[in-house]
Amino acid sequence: MTHSDKFRLPAGALVAVCDGRRALFLRNEGDQAFPNLRTREVHEQDNPPTAAQGTDAPGRVHQSTGTARSAVETTDFHALAEAAFLRRIAERLEALLAAGEGTALVMVASPRALGVLRPLYGRAVQEALIGEVDRDMVKLPVYEIEKHVAA
């Protein structure tokens, strides 16, 4: 697998562009010489900030000996929701590729999202993956993504 930012995308290749809240699955409807990325699927998740999701004060723990107490770290609901979303994205990509819906795969995601996604790659994703781009491009228009990714 290469870590370049530009790839030769064969016809039918998928380009997955995602972060923790939004994912675009693009498919090369052109050929390797003249790629033409078209949107195949869009996935979005409403994920309000953690402050809006959990408003209780942190819990307290009593030590088993003595009178000392300590705070329990608050749950980051935002990070949990992002991880769950990325897990669903990885599962969807696996299903698409296992069904023969793509000839190859380029994953484009923020470094943080890639860190969550990599351990979730199934067999079909691992076999189809021709490269990764560790940049957040999910808000760019498709033609801009194409310019950044296609060689």
Question: Which residue, among 141, 81, 135, 84, has the nearest Cα to 106 in the 3D structure?
Answer: 135
pLDDT category of residue 70 using cuts at 50, 70 and 90: low
Looking at the domain that runs over 14-45+70-149, which CATH code has it been given? Answer: 3.30.420.60
* pLDDT in the model for residue 2: 47
pLDDT value at 49 more than 90: no
Q: What is the mean pLDDT of residues 32-61?
A: 74
141: Cβ–Cβ under 8 A, 6 or more apart, which residues? none
Longest CA span, the chain? 72
Residue 90 has pLDDT above 90, yes or no: yes
Q: Give the pLDDT band (50/70/90) at residue 77.
A: confident
Q: Are 11 and 28 in contact (CB under 8 A)?
A: yes
* Global pTM value: 0.80
- pLDDT tens-digit map of 110-129: 999 999 999 999 999 999 99
Residues 105/93, Cβ–Cβ less than 8 Å: yes
Amino acid at 1: M
Which of the given ranges, 23-27, 32-36, 60-64, has the highest pLDDT on average?
Answer: 23-27
Percent of the chain at pLDDT exceeding 70: 78
Does residue 58 surpass a pLDDT of 80?
no
